[in-house]
Structure 1
Amino acid sequence: MLTVKQRELLQYIHERVSETGVSPSFDEMREALELKSKSGVHRLISALEERAFIRRLPNRARALEVLRMPDQPGGASAATEAKAPELKPVRIPANDTIEIPLHGRIAAGTPIEALQGTEQFAVPAALLGPGEHYALEVSGDSMVDEGILDGDFALIRKVDQAREGEIVVALIDGEEATLKTFRREGKMVRLDPANGAYSPQRYEENRVRIQGRLAGLIRRY
């Protein structure tokens, strides 16, 4: 049987992935479930993984996939939970790739020059959802707590608006771009790092233009 909090988290992840194509951050999950710390979120996710309701996708930031939902609102039976998850077949061939624009490097630490470059970057088609996308090479370590490391390639879905808690590409003063978590603070926009060594960046709203939100991550070894 799933606990109340496990069911709440599973439902929340399912709704966010269905709506946006991106699983919520640990901070968003903590706030949604009114938990005091991220460690509580980790424990719930581990429990759902063990029961084969979700799985983590390797080499992608904030990547959780819902494998199944409880058969009834009150939770799945023990017999149901013991079954192996029924996965829908992926109809995109594993070697099928799509080329998207590669717009150079973007700072995960401090803002850098506005996005430039016209190279193409081959991405497995299965990693991209609907919409128009581009890729950026990450420079810096301020998003490490979200699993985004220096040298990673961030896959960005083009959007011009952001919701609270989404990881976005923000263009500052039309000149500098940065990859951060989007927050509102009164009439200001706050761009939060995911590394305690860095401080949030605050700007007047008219200085910030959203250029996309994080849709996936590719890491080369």
Structure 2
Amino acid sequence: MLTRKQHELLCYIHERLGETGVSPSFEEMKEALDLKSKSGVHRLISALEERGFIRRLPNRARALEVLKMPDQKAGAAPEPRPQVIPPQAANDIIELPLHGRIAAGTPIEALQGTETLPVPAALLGPGEHYALEVAGDSMVEEGILDGDYALIRRTDIARDGEIVVALVNNEEATLKTFRREGTMIRLDPANRNYDPQRYRPDQVAIQGRLAGLLRRY
């Protein structure tokens, strides 16, 4: 049996995966369940993982997979998601445009370059994607490290709590969690050593949303 909070979190993750194909961030989960800290989310995630309801996907930022729901028998597949992804062979490789380095700390020039990055098709969902090499450590608490390759789905809109590529003042880009704060846009790091960045809406253009992460060892 799951506790009420465990059940709420599992349903929330399942719903978000069905809507966007991307699991929610720890900050989003904390706010959705009205928890005081992310440590409570970590404990709930670990409990659900131990009971076989979810699993963490390796080499991907904040990637979770729902294995079953409480009303399903062990081993039964969860309800199909409305998102339809064309089948890809396990060894299919897609060459994504690699648009240089993007700051996970202070904004730097980005969205330049003509190189490509080979990416397993299984890491990508529907839509158009590109890749950026992460520079900096301000998103480490979301599992995004310096030198990682962020796989970005092109979009010009964002919801609160999503990790996005934000183009600031039409010349500098950064990878941050998007928030609306009154009449301002707040770009939040995931590192307690960094402060949020606040801008007027006309200063920020969304260039894409984090869809996955590729790490080379």
Rounded to whole Å, the distance in 2 between the matches of 1:96 and 1:70 is 34
> Size of the alignment, in residue pairs?
211
User: Please, which moves more after superposition, 157-166 or 108-117?
Assistant: 108-117
Where 2:178 maps in the other structure, the secondary structure is: strand
Match of 1:70 in 2: 70
The residue correspondences of 1:132-211 to structure 2 (distance < 5 A) are 132-211=128-207
Which position in structure 2 is the counterpart of 1:54?
A: 54
Give 1:91 deviation, angstroms. Answer: 5.2
Residue 56 of structure 1: how far off its partner (Å): 0.1
Q: How far apart are the structure 2 equivalents of 1:98 and 1:18?
A: 24
- 1:124-163 per-position Cα deviation (integer Å, ceiling 9, x unaligned): 1111001100000000000000000000000000000110
One-letter code of the match for 2:120?
A: P
> CA separation of 1:15/1:8 partners in 2, compared to 1, >3 Å: closer, same or farther?
same
TM-score (norm 2): 0.93
Checking the alignment, whether the CA contact within 8 Å between 2:163 and 2:209 is kept in structure 1 is: yes
Partner of 1:109 in structure 2?
Answer: 105
Match of 1:216 among 204, 212, 215: 212
- With 211-220 and 109-118 compared, the bigger mean Cα shift is at 109-118
Q: For residue 94 of structure 1, report the CA deviation from its aligned partner.
A: 2.2
Residue matched to 2:42: 42
- The one-letter code of the counterpart of 2:101 is R
1:138–1:150: 8 Å Cα contact kept in structure 2?
Answer: yes
In structure 1, how many angstroms separate the alpha carbons of the residues matched to 2:18 and 2:158?
Answer: 17
| Alpha carbons 2:151, 2:210 under 8 Å: kept | yes
CA contact (8 A) 1:53 1:85 kept: no
> Which of structures 1 and 2 has the bigger CA Rg?
1
Q: Tell me, what secondary structure is at the counterpart of 2:111?
A: coil
Offset, 1:181: 0.5
Distance in 1, Cα, partners of 2:23 & 2:46: 15
Please show how residues 11-22 of structure 1 align to structure 2 within 5 Å: 11-22=11-22
1:98 aligns with 2:120: no
Q: For structure 2, which runs of at least 5 residues remain unmatched after alignment?
A: 81-85
| Partner Cα separation in structure 2 for residue 124 and residue 55 of structure 1 | 20
**Are residues 114 and 218 of structure 1, via their aligned partners in 2, closer, same or farther at CA, if it must alter by over 3 Å?**
closer
Aligned counterparts of 2:50 and 2:197: Cα–Cα separation in 1: 38
Provide the secondary structure at the position in 2 that maps to 1:210.
Answer: strand
Aligned to 2:120: 124
Task: Single out whichever of 199-208 and 113-122 deviates more from structure 2.
Answer: 113-122
Task: Point out 4+ residue stretches in structure 1 off by more than 2 angstroms.
Answer: 83-88, 90-94
